[in-house]
Amino acid sequence: MDCDVCSLYSYDPDTETLSLAATQGLPARSIGRVSMKRSEGLVGLVVDKAGPVVAEDALAHERFKFFPELAEEKYHSFLAVPVGDPDNLLGVLAVQTRRRRRFVEQDERLLTSVAGHIRATMVNAHLSERLQREEKERDRYRREMVDAIQRLKVYEASRPREASADEEDGDARLRFSGLGASPGFGIGPAHCLLPQVGLDDVPLRTVSDPIAEQQRFDVAMRASVEEVENARERMRKLVPEVGGAIYEALRMIIEDKSLSTRVAEEIGAGLAAESALAAVIKEYAERFERMSDPYLKERAVDVRDVGQRILRHLLGVEQEDEPRQITEDAVLVASELTLTDFSTVDPSKLRAIVTESGGTTSHAAILAKSLEIPTVVGCEGLLARCCEGDDVIADGNTGTVYVRPSQDVLAEYVRLKDEYVNFQRELEDIRDLPAETLDGHRVGLMANVGLLGELDFVDRYGAEGIGLYRTELSFLSYRDFPSEEEQLSLYRKIIKRMDGRPITIRTLDLGADKYPAYMGGHKEQNPFLGWRSIRVSLELESLFKEQLRAILCAGADASVRIMFPMITSVEEIRRVREIYAECVADLSAEGQPPSADVELGVMMEVPAAVMRASQIVREVDFVSIGTNDLIQYILAVDRDNRKIAPMYEPLHPAVLQAIHAIVEAAHDAGRRVGMCGEMAGNPLFTLFLVGVGLDELSMGSQYIPVVKKLIRGIEVSMARRIAADLLRFDTVEEIKGYMFMCLRQHNLIELVEAFS
């Protein structure tokens, strides 16, 4: 048919949903990931009409729906026909062309004829799939029963199993979707890592001699501390900054008095040491898992890691002194990757890491990123379907994992891997160059940082400074509210490491969902609209002053800026300034006058601040737009709520208008304006952000090179024209379509696709 794209969509009548099942021409990674309701798009129109749909210019059609994953903006003409009859519709077959083309009746007849042949194939495939699902469900149940029996014993990790008979053919090829925690591609045989002992397997057992049990627990605690220290030394040789800091955090959990006290209480009540430990670890892990902050939620992994480690010593199960021998170029497959797991393998032999659970900010994921090991987390059910030695592809960019991939998929990823290596090499070449457009306009590129260990990334990726230092993450690791001296020591370490580069320190952004235990706090039905951020600081004024004094003392001879979160009114910032002035006066009276050059700024992240932007900006020296909360509040969308998460849309016209209003207000008042939300680190939005006039972008360090490359390839005059056009559109679809068209016209689309 002389077309550029041919795609098959499978139709589920129960959910009235169409899913991309196969394609030649569209990105292969979108197969199984793109779906739409029958009321959406031109493909859905085929279902509604129960007949062919023809469009000479699909982009202009009223039913056209833009899916970023499909990259369809370069295809114009469209022809699609149903597969099956109206009473038993199986799918839709579609072809597309780059050039504008008028499909004729003969084209429709030919495609309909092909669809008839496909219908027979799909009927057989559906029947085969149903039979295989039933057999695999029975096989899964058998495996779970065997696994449950094995877990009651102390078994060794990664026991290989033979593939079942129904997995010997092409249907054994599996695909999992997770989250990319460390970018890149990894291809190699699976090395399945299972825990030596499990907290979930510990029975509830009582004892008559609690003193002896307490002694056993104390010995296991000391052995665990020693073991962590040894692992810390090994990892410091590989990644000195990150490795040492992360294992020190693990040691702090083991030595935490509240943990050992709770276990002692359970032992005193008559429980065996193992039972007491399992109960307390479960209690602590559940507390973290209930938190909404992703970073804090993932500390549950560290708590369970500590519990597993202590339990192993209680049971007398020894850990290997040296890293476990694994196959060269292996892909590590685990249920949940802990720091203990990391210390039992040789990272130099790993081509990738894949886990069933966990998140992108777990300590193990941070280590993997430091060692540049592609990592995917959150692939549910992976271990039940993956055998020791299976071929595995882990795509850390898209979060996709293939087990026993076909030769076509394997060849495509080998090609993509080579392209990715070359792409990273290009980014490395511009690490020390400024983010300057072709016509000489410079944009500051800064890093978002929450922990000391992340400073290593600031240097690696060429950040000009720290645009957001989240102080609350460090506070949460203390057993009590850190004193002024403890805070002073922490800030000095950061300032010294930055060696004169600017640092923006945000005061505590605590919320009801992430209170440190020592603050007590109270439960709130809606913590994001409750007692949080600057509201906490203004109420706990003495603690607020301690933080301000520590920042001022640490930054006496440095380029330090202070930023206040969640400001909603002029009254709040004026009260903040009054407290700040009192701190300055107190320090001066004590003979420690702070620098007069400290700039004060605010986070613009609530609609009230946007509406009063002209008044608020006159009260401060700079502003920074926090898009994560701003989008959530403007659109009334909780992006952690899966049911409505797709409605969390950074390119909503209201969001773009809000950003524009803040920038205009700041520049009218002669103030600098930056952005430190997730939008800043996504190259898809860079054209708009530069064009609308942002002076500074602060992001996760790893995103700096690709954003810099895009900025260095455009003219600010062009970006301004595009931003002005985008502000005139009324719908998200129009905005996305125009943005992708502009990226394609200026040869930037491949850069954005490489990032995503």
Q: Are 217 and 277 spatial neighbours (Cβ–Cβ below 8 Å)?
A: yes
CATH for 173-196+323-405? 3.50.30.10
Q: Are 250 and 306 spatial neighbours (Cβ–Cβ below 8 Å)?
A: yes
Q: Exposure of 649 by Cβ count < 10 A (0-12 exposed, 13-18 middle, 19+ buried)?
A: middle
Q: Of the ranges 120-129, 220-229, 251-260, 589-598, which one carries the lowest mean pLDDT score?
A: 120-129
Q: Give the pLDDT mean for 636-641.
A: 76
pLDDT band at 170 (very low <50, low <70, confident <90, very high): very low
Neighbours of 156 (CB within 10 A): 9
Give the per-residue pLDDT at 357: 80
H-assigned helices in 72-209? 105-151
Question: Smallest Cα–Cα separation from 250: which of 312, 342, 383?
Answer: 342
Number of residues assigned to the chain: 756
Give the per-residue pLDDT at 672: 96
Put simply, whether the predicted model's pTM sits higher than 0.95 gets the answer: no
pLDDT band at 290 (very low <50, low <70, confident <90, very high): confident
Give the per-residue pLDDT at 160: 38
Question: Percent of the chain beyond pLDDT 90?
Answer: 35
Alpha-carbon distance of 408 to 412, in angstroms, equals 6
Residues marked as catalytic: 363, 676
**Domain 437-755 architecture:** Alpha-Beta Barrel (3.20)
Alpha-carbon distance of 558 to 502, in angstroms, equals 8
Neighbours of 487 (CB within 10 A): 23
Question: What does the pLDDT look like over 359-382, one tens digit per residue?
Answer: 766 667 777 776 778 999 889 888
pLDDT band at 523 (very low <50, low <70, confident <90, very high): low
Give the per-residue pLDDT at 253: 77
Q: Give the pLDDT mean for 398-421.
A: 83
Q: Are 199 and 308 spatial neighbours (Cβ–Cβ below 8 Å)?
A: yes
Alpha-carbon distance of 363 to 704, in angstroms, equals 21
DSSP string, 84-106: EETTEEEEEEEEEESS-----HH
3-state secondary structure 224-292: HHHHHHHHHHHHHHHCHHHHHHHHHHHHHHHHCHHHHHHHHHHHHCCECHHHHHHHHHHHHHHHHHCCC
The answer, yes or no, to whether residue 658 has pLDDT greater than 70, is yes
Question: Smallest Cα–Cα separation from 260: which of 272, 240, 277, 242?
Answer: 277
Question: Smallest Cα–Cα separation from 105: which of 66, 144, 172, 51?
Answer: 51
Residue 318 DSSP code: P
The answer, yes or no, to whether residue 153 has pLDDT greater than 60, is no
Q: Give the pLDDT mean for 273-294.
A: 83
The answer, yes or no, to whether residue 192 has pLDDT greater than 70, is yes
Alpha-carbon distance of 634 to 129, in angstroms, equals 44
Beta bridge partners of 447: 466, 699
Give the per-residue pLDDT at 518: 44
The answer, yes or no, to whether residue 654 has pLDDT greater than 60, is yes
Angle at 748 between CA 28 and CA 186, to 5 degrees: 40
Q: Give the pLDDT mean for 700-709.
A: 88
Give the per-residue pLDDT at 574: 96
Q: Positive or negative, the Cα torsion across 235, 236, 238, 240?
A: positive
Question: What does the pLDDT look like over 115-146, one tens digit per residue?
Answer: 887 886 777 676 666 656 655 655 554 454 44
Alpha-carbon distance of 2 to 219, in angstroms, equals 75
Question: Smallest Cα–Cα separation from 299: which of 129, 477, 445?
Answer: 477
Alpha-carbon distance of 40 to 17, in angstroms, equals 9
Alpha-carbon distance of 704 to 447, in angstroms, equals 8
Q: How far is CA 9 from CA 17, 35, 80, in A?
A: 10, 9, 10
Alpha-carbon distance of 685 to 692, in angstroms, equals 11
The answer, yes or no, to whether residue 710 has pLDDT greater than 80, is yes
The answer, yes or no, to whether residue 324 has pLDDT greater than 80, is no
Give the per-residue pLDDT at 664: 97
Q: Give the pLDDT mean for 683-706.
A: 93
Where are the domains positioned within the chain?
5-129, 173-196+323-405, 199-315, 437-755
Give the per-residue pLDDT at 165: 33
DSSP string, 662-702: HHHHHHHTT-EEEE-SGGGG-GGGHHHHHHHT-SEEEE-GG
Mean pLDDT (the chain, rounded): 82
Alpha-carbon distance of 152 to 208, in angstroms, equals 24
How does 710-721 read in b/e, with b if 16+ C-beta sit within 10 Å? bbeebebebbbe
pLDDT band at 151 (very low <50, low <70, confident <90, very high): very low
Q: Are 174 and 165 spatial neighbours (Cβ–Cβ below 8 Å)?
A: no
Question: Percent of the chain beyond pLDDT 70?
Answer: 82
Cβ partners under 8 Å of residue 16, min gap 6: 37, 38, 47
Task: Give me the CATH topology for the region 199-315.
Answer: Enzyme I; Chain A, domain 2 (1.10.274)
DSSP string, 340-383: HHHTTB-GGGEEEEEESS--TTSHHHHHHHHTT--EEE--TTHH
Q: Which CATH class is domain 5-129?
A: alpha beta
Q: Of the ranges 299-308, 501-510, 549-558, 630-639, which one carries the lowest mean pLDDT score?
A: 299-308
Give the per-residue pLDDT at 32: 86
Q: Are 146 and 376 spatial neighbours (Cβ–Cβ below 8 Å)?
A: no
Question: What does the pLDDT look like over 59-94, one tens digit per residue?
Answer: 888 888 888 788 888 888 999 999 988 877 899 999
